[in-house]
Structure 1
């Protein structure tokens, strides 16, 4: 499943990896338009995931996973062949996101349905952290292919990656969930589950920050090279690849810390640290490249370190009969705020002078810091609600 997910993620940041260097200049896009086009992926995902993930409470999640993987791959190839501007690019990329809605959380549900009873936290964290390895390879492949054969080939070739998940699905045993009555989209029990809701909203803050930095990471480092210079080996390809790859060990270690010190405490510490690093990056955008590389290295560790713990916490807090619906809301909130992160940082960049100005990048990192700072507040709210409910029960 982890290898299949890495294949599914090869197209994931093909647009972000080529946005600042290729697509914006070719189509004359502003940063806000570029950010909105990138957020189309998250928006398409957000629209489809409530239905597709909740559907896994009724049919084998493997079937949804196969269909979503195929749509994601074909839409990515279509972007490389047919996209010729903002509107066509946004529409096709939203279709790719819609396909991925059938590929990520349904994949998590297919995995949990096949795991033995007991604590599945480490297995889920391995699956969610392999997301980062897939994104790192997506950054690497999309930029290397674009530099060698043009950005269109970057989409066409990475679009073949989801074949790996299709193969993985055919190797799985069939697993039909227990028959369930009632409405398909019934989120009332999920909203009543304050513990799960705290993790879901915290995941939204995490996704806002994560998608915001991923959308503009290559653009930011291009700015650094243009204004401060950097050694040849510190290229946008290398920086974005290392930044993404760090997410895998960071997510695993973050979950281990959550198991040892408590989920809320560990997640809150990581989020506060991430906000602090973002503010340091914003305050030092004109510093030497080596210092910015070190700060990005630290940011590459803090941004994803809460991901596995948030998803594992949500899954543990979900009731078995509503796990698909809980995962659906988790993903809807997460990718809805991912879209807000990509577009919001693009708006901030334009408002403060554009991608060639230090003030533009300062405001981007301030926006990211504010976004992740909401996470500890919603976790505190969930904890307070749980304590109150416990006191009433006693």
Structure 2
């Protein structure tokens, strides 16, 4: 499943990897338009995931995963072949996000349905943390292919990746649903689960930050290279791949810290640290390239370190009969705020002077810091609810 997910993620940042250097100049887009184009993926995901993930409470998640993987791959290839401007790009890239909505959380459901009873925290964390490895590979392939054969070829090549998950699905044993749920989009039991909601809203803050920085990471480092003279080996390709790949061990270690020190405490500490590092980057965008690189390395560790713990916490808090609906709301909130992160940071970049302005990039990282700072508040809110329930029970 982890290998299949890496294949499914090959298209994931193909657009972000080519946005600032290829698509924005080619189509004459502003940073706000570029951010909105990138957010189309998350928007398509957000619209489809409530139906597709809750559907896994009715049918085998493997079937949803198979169809979603195929749509994601075909739409990515279509972007490379047929996108000719902002509007056609938004429509096709949103379809790719719609396909991924049938791939990521339904994939998690297909996995957890086949795990033995007991603590699934490490298995869930391994699956979610392999997301980062897939994103790193996506950054690498999309940029290298674009450098040699153009950005259109980058989308065509990365669009082949989801075929790996299709093969995994075909090899997976069939499993019938054990439950007979009522209405398809019944989120009432999920909204009644305050513990799960805390993790869901915290995940939304995490996604705002993560998608925002991934959308502009290549463009930001291109700015640093042009203005601070980074060495040739410290290219946007290297920086973006390292930033993504180190997310995998960071996410695993973050979950281990959650198991040892308490989930809420560990996640809150990581989020505060991440907001602090984002502010430091914003205040040092004009510093020497090696200083910015070290700060980005630290940011690459803090941004994903709460991801596995948040998703594992949500999965553990979800009732078994409503797990699909809980996963659906988790993804809807997460990718809805991902879209907001991509577009909001683009607007901030435009407002403060554009991609060639130090003030623009400073505001981008301040916005990211503000977004992740909302996470601890969500966890505090959910814990307050647990305390009230415990007092009422006594």
Range into which the TM-score falls when normalised by the shorter chain: over 0.9
Give the drift of 1:126.
Answer: 0.2
Asked if 1:361 is matched to 2:356, the reply is: no
Q: TM-score, normalised by structure 2?
A: 1.00
Q: Aligned equivalents of 1:121 and 1:293: distance in 2?
A: 32
Instruction: Please show how residues 1-394 of structure 1 align to structure 2 within 5 Å.
Output: 1-394=1-394
Q: Do the aligned partners of 2:58 and 2:181 also contact (CA within 8 Å) in 1?
A: no
Q: Do the aligned partners of 2:251 and 2:309 also contact (CA within 8 Å) in 1?
A: yes
Give the drift of 1:130.
Answer: 0.2
Gaps of 5+ in 2: none
Name the SS for the 1:56 alignment partner: helix
In the comparison of the two structures, how many residue pairs are matched? 394
Q: Aligned equivalents of 2:44 and 2:367: distance in 1?
A: 23
Q: Aligned equivalents of 2:305 and 2:178: distance in 1?
A: 34
Name the SS for the 1:65 alignment partner: helix
1:18-42, Cα deviation, whole Å (9 max, x unpaired): 0000000000000000000000000
Name the SS for the 1:199 alignment partner: helix
Q: Aligned equivalents of 2:134 and 2:164: distance in 1?
A: 12
Name the SS for the 2:68 alignment partner: helix
Give the drift of 1:166.
Answer: 0.4
Q: Aligned equivalents of 2:260 and 2:392: distance in 1?
A: 28
1:175-195, Cα deviation, whole Å (9 max, x unpaired): 111241411000000000000
Q: Aligned equivalents of 1:180 and 1:355: distance in 2?
A: 52
Q: Aligned equivalents of 2:232 and 2:366: distance in 1?
A: 29
Q: Aligned equivalents of 2:206 and 2:50: distance in 1?
A: 19
Q: Aligned equivalents of 1:390 and 1:212: distance in 2?
A: 38
1:242-298, Cα deviation, whole Å (9 max, x unpaired): 000010000000000000000000000000000000000000000000000000000
Change (3 A) 1:382 1:179: closer
Give the drift of 1:117.
Answer: 0.3
Q: Aligned equivalents of 2:59 and 2:6: distance in 1?
A: 24
Q: Aligned equivalents of 1:345 and 1:315: distance in 2?
A: 30
Give the drift of 1:170.
Answer: 1.0
1:359-378, Cα deviation, whole Å (9 max, x unpaired): 00000000000000000001
Q: Aligned equivalents of 1:59 and 1:89: distance in 2?
A: 32
1:24-72, Cα deviation, whole Å (9 max, x unpaired): 0000000000000000000000000000000000000000000000000
Gaps of 5+ in 1: none
Name the SS for the 1:84 alignment partner: coil
Name the SS for the 2:373 alignment partner: helix
Stretches of 4+ aligned residues off by more than 3 angstroms: none
Q: Aligned equivalents of 1:63 and 1:379: distance in 2?
A: 34
Q: Aligned equivalents of 2:348 and 2:341: distance in 1?
A: 10
